Structure 1
Amino acid sequence: MILLAKLDSEQASYHPKQINVAALVEHVADRVLPLAAEDHVTLKKEVAEGMYIYADEEKMLRALLNLVVNGVRHAHSVVKITAAMNGKQKMLVVEDDGEGISEELLPHIFHRFVKGKQGETGLGLAITRAIIEQSGGKITVENKSDEGARFVILFPGNA
């Protein structure tokens, strides 16, 4: 809760720099791998080389970790992290093959204290959204047509 309040009010605690997205995704995967192995979930990565974003590296690491750890908790067997150009935008996608998010919860999932099935505090996705928006990005979520949830982060091409 304190971190969320700081994100909302303190621009001084935000230290942006150029971040290599491939290195960031690799760092996230390394941290999540033990949890994924314990839950018998495979992590897949498809990352465009030479892609950079301008953001606070520590905070972006936290945002992606929140998404990937949630994905592992809800996945049946696979979590996929994709980073690619989408037209002029930079796109990061975290998706799982779990049950997806209930339709009534979907519009509120990034609000504080909204917990999905197996949710803990209801703050992780609110923190993730705050970090991404502070970085000039936008995050959305949808249920995939087959099964699972897909979180899409878009940054402008100049980010």
Structure 2
Amino acid sequence: MQPGYKDERVWAVAVSLLLPLLTALYGDPLYLGTRYYLLVAGVAIGLSMLIKAPRMFTLGAALAVAATLAGYGLWALSLTRPEGLLGLGHLLSLPGAAVGLVGGALFARRRRSAAVAAFAAGLLFVLLGFGANQMVVCNTLMWCGPLSAPIHG
């Protein structure tokens, strides 16, 4: 039995609630607040529903958003001195994730992808959009440590 849209959305919400729950229990290493985690995940799920993404795409997109937040959280925890504005890099890279989400949904819908392919498209396109925007942000607007290009003078 393949999961339907309702099951997929339940799993997407469950994946999205995992990080806010962990930050409530152990603290927020990015100093963003629980509302930020909920809002970012909610926008990703809502946007994929709004553009009528194929089945399982929303789960892949929600997992990608959770992965970006978890990656930033682990990065913040690995620093010897906490960076208060590290979350700003995540915030400024979200437009790329949104473009990746829309592009991936259109790609998967146009190809009439199977559920596994739509899941992979949601995951990969959101991560690629986020990563591309991250490289632009880290090399133009702010210093992101190892993600920024070295300065030669």
Answer whether TM exceeds 0.5 for this pair: no
Please, what TM-score do these two structures have when normalized by structure 2? Answer: 0.37
- CA radius of gyration, larger in: 2
Say which structure is richer in strand.
1
